[in-house]
Amino acid sequence: MRKGLYVLALFVLVIFCGKNEKNGSNEIKAAKIIQVNVKNKGVFEVTLYSDSVKLANKVFSKLINEGYYNNKKIYAVGKGMIVVKDTAEKRIFSLARSETRFGFKNDSLTVALNSRGPLTVSPELWILVKPHHEFDGINTVIGKVSKGAEVLYKIKQGDEITISIIE
């Protein structure tokens, strides 16, 4: 009986995890749109995934509302990724459940929070310009660049960003 319940629960997770079974890509179910302003470079928008990663997006939204990402410097750029982090930041946010393994892949133009364990995320933000599937199941993918992707190619280490919620 228990085994049957586990199989049913797994089936429900697979169906509702946001994976588009037709083409294997990440499906966007819009929760919020955020705007990332890169000083002197331009603006791009990210559509955040909803449902499957709502706990991680709640943490991300809280950080945005606190102004955590205001005038934050780009920590690293290279190998098809952009990393925004504060080396002095030690906060780790606990999640009630792991959201790293919900079928979202670290594809091109995805945005992820770094996970510091199966039930945690940190404020470290990864913006992937090219696929990095070696991070699948490690980073928590929270959204996808939906507008202004050309700005990503102009970003350099040390550039300043400000993130705001627009929708």
Structure tokens at 86: 């504060």
At 33, the amino acid letter reads I
Structure tokens at 95: 């999640």
Question: Can you give the three-state secondary structure of 81-134, one letter per residue?
Answer: EEEECCCCCCCCEECCCCCCCCCCCCCCCEEEECCCCCCEECCCEEEECCCCHH
Output the furthest CA–CA distance in the chain (Å, rounded).
60
pLDDT at position 29 is 47
pLDDT at position 18 is 38
DSSP assigned state of 39: T
Q: What is the pLDDT of residues 71-82, one digit of tens each?
A: 999 999 999 999
CATH number of the structural domain spanning residue 56: 2.40.100.10
pLDDT at position 100 is 66
Neighbours of 12 (CB within 10 A): 10
Structure tokens at 157: 């280490």
pLDDT in tens, the chain (167 residues): 544 433 333 333 333 343 333 334 444 444 689 999 999 999 999 999 876 788 888 899 999 999 999 999 999 999 999 999 988 888 888 887 777 666 688 999 999 998 877 788 889 999 999 999 998 888 889 999 999 999 999 999 999 999 999 97
pLDDT at position 31 is 62
Range of the domain at 26: 2-165
Tally of structural domains, the chain = 1
Q: Alpha-carbon distance 32 to 95, whole Å?
A: 19
* Run of H or E residues at 17: none
Alpha carbon distance, N-terminus to C-terminus of the chain? 44
Give this prediction's pTM: 0.77
> Residues 47, 146: contact at Cβ < 8 Å?
yes
pLDDT at position 10 is 34
